Amino acid sequence: MGYTPLNELKSFIEVGRNSHFPIQNLPYGVFRPAGGATPRVGVALGDFVVDLSVLDEAGLFPASVAGRDLFAGGSLNAFLAAGRPVWRATRQALLALLRHDEPGLRDNEGLRQAAIVPASRVEMLLPAQVGDYTDFYSSREHASNVGAMLRGAANALQPNWLHLPVGYHGRASSLVVSGTDIRRPWGQVCPDESQPPRLAPSRLMDFELEVGFLVGPGNRLGEPISVADAAEHIFGFVLVNDWSARDIQKWEYVPLGPFLSKSFATSISPWVVTLDALEPFRCPGPVQDPEPLPYLRSPGEWAFDVHLEVWLQTAAMEAAERIVASNLKYLYWNVAQQLAHHTVNGCNLRPGDLLASGTISGPARDSRGCLLELTWRGEEPLTLSSGQRRTFLEDGDRVVMTGWAQGDGFRVGFGEVSGRLLAAASREDAELGS
Write out the catalytic residue numbers: 142
In angstroms, the first-to-last Cα distance of the chain is: 62
**Number of H helices and number of E strands within the chain?**
12, 26
CA 429 to chain centre: 31
In 217-368, DSSP assigns E strands to: 234-241, 244-245, 266-268, 273-274, 282-283, 303-304, 307-313, 321-327, 354-356
Cis-peptide, bond into residue 197, ω within 30° of zero: no
Residues in the chain: 434
Residue 381 burial (C-beta neighbours within 10 Å; 0-12, 13-18, 19+) = middle
Q: Are 23 and 10 in contact (CB under 8 A)?
A: yes
CA gap 102, 95 in Å, rounded: 10
Report whether 372 contacts 146 (CB < 8 A): yes
Q: Quick count: other Cβ atoms within 10 Å of Cβ 199?
A: 11
The Cα–Cα gap between 243 and 397 comes to 13
